[in-house]
């Protein structure tokens, strides 16, 4: 990866960002952008102002970095993500994680909207990630080894930290949300899957499917960060749903679930 992109973004951000490690970094996926409640905003930039990010190109991704305080915690929030399918390389995809790492942050919450594969899932359900399947076969750590990002061959047997999963469960249960733990299949996108692919991923053990999250999770875990992931089921996956899939359906489902997602994140911040 081209570290100059990371250096430029870090140089651009004010010293305040690096003066004290954030307690938690959050990357918000499709439709999750309005889920933050702040007591005090410390730093706020549009992605298009930060070198290396470029504007978020996907509808539903706010494209905003915010350092703020909530419940006595310091939070580095990346509202909107860049994806592998945007064709802009891994640097922009993992830039939020790298910035959080340089700020000294040790904990990362990843959120996304996903298609439900497990027949028990309905749109609006939450899935706490317990593991993932990378169907793309490539990841951001391919390339020359940089020891600041962990060992050459990072262990991936425990990407999603048990303690943070427990906190997510406790919060979701207390709020009466429909929630289960599951395995996330990462696909390259931007095409939705075929019904045959979804049947295959289901047999492989996947519960939900989406086009994000895994690159950031792999990178953060290799770097030694504690990672949590939560998916909002925005639609039933291809072949399970009786209608063709579209991004509007994803946005509609996340919009309906807006308050639920905001409450979950807020209480997670207080308890994690």
Q: Which residues bind ligand HPA (CB under 6 A)?
A: 113-115, 187, 192-193, 209-211, 234-235, 237, 245, 250
Give the tokens for residue 179. Answer: 């929630």
- 89 burial class (0-12, 13-18, 19+ CB within 10 angstroms)? middle
CB of 116 to ligand HPA, least distance (A): 8
Catalytic-residue membership of 221: no
- In the bound state with ligand HPA, the residue whose beta carbon lies nearer, of 172 and 211, is 211
Measured from the Cβ of residue 237, the count of other Cβ atoms closer than 10 Å reads 28
Catalytic-residue membership of 211: yes
| 3-class secondary structure per residue, 100-162 | HHHCCCCEEEEEEEEEECCCCCCCCCEEEEEEEEECCCCCCCCCCCCHHHCCCCCCCCCCECH
- In the bound state with ligand HPA, the residue whose beta carbon lies nearer, of 193 and 207, is 193
| Nearest one of 101, 125, 64 to 216, comparing CA atoms | 101
CB of 185 to ligand HPA, least distance (A): 9
Catalytic-residue membership of 267: no
- In the bound state with ligand HPA, the residue whose beta carbon lies nearer, of 149 and 186, is 186
114, 139, 212, 234: the catalytic one is: 212
34, 44, 69, 86: the catalytic one is: 86
Catalytic-residue membership of 83: yes
The residues that are catalytic are: 30, 61, 83, 85-86, 113, 211-212, 235, 247
């Amino acid at each position: 990866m081209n570290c100059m992109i990371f250096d430029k973004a870090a140089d651009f951000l004010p010293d305040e960002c690096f003066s004290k490690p954030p307690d938690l970094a959050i990357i918000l996926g499709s439709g999750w952008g309005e889920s933050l409640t702040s007591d005090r905003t410390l730093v706020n930039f549009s992605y298009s102002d930060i070198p290396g990010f470029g504007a978020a190109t996907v509808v539903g991704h706010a494209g905003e970095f915010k350092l703020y305080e909530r419940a006595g915690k310091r939070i580095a929030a990346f509202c909107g993500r860049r994806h592998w399918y945007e064709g802009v390389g891994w640097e922009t995809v993992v830039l939020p994680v790298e910035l959080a790492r340089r700020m000294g942050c040790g904990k990362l919450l990843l959120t996304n909207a996903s298609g439900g594969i497990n027949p028990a899932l309905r749109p609006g359900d939450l899935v706490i990630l317990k593991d993932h399947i990378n169907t793309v076969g490539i990841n951001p750590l391919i390339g020359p080894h940089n020891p600041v990002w962990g060992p050459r061959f990072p262990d991936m047997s425990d990407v999603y930290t048990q303690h943070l999963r427990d906190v997510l469960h406790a919060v979701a249960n207390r709020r009466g949300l429909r929630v289960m733990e599951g395995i996330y299949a990462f696909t390259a996108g931007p095409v939705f899957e075929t019904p045959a692919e979804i049947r295959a991923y289901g047999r492989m053990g996947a519960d939900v499917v989406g086009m994000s999250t895994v690159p950031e999770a792999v990178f953060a875990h290799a770097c030694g960060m504690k990672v949590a992931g939560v998916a909002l089921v925005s639609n039933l996956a291809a072949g399970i749903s009786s209608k063709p899939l579209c991004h509007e359906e994803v946005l509609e489902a996340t919009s309906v679930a807006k308050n639920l997602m905001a409450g979950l994140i807020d209480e997670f911040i207080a308890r994690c």
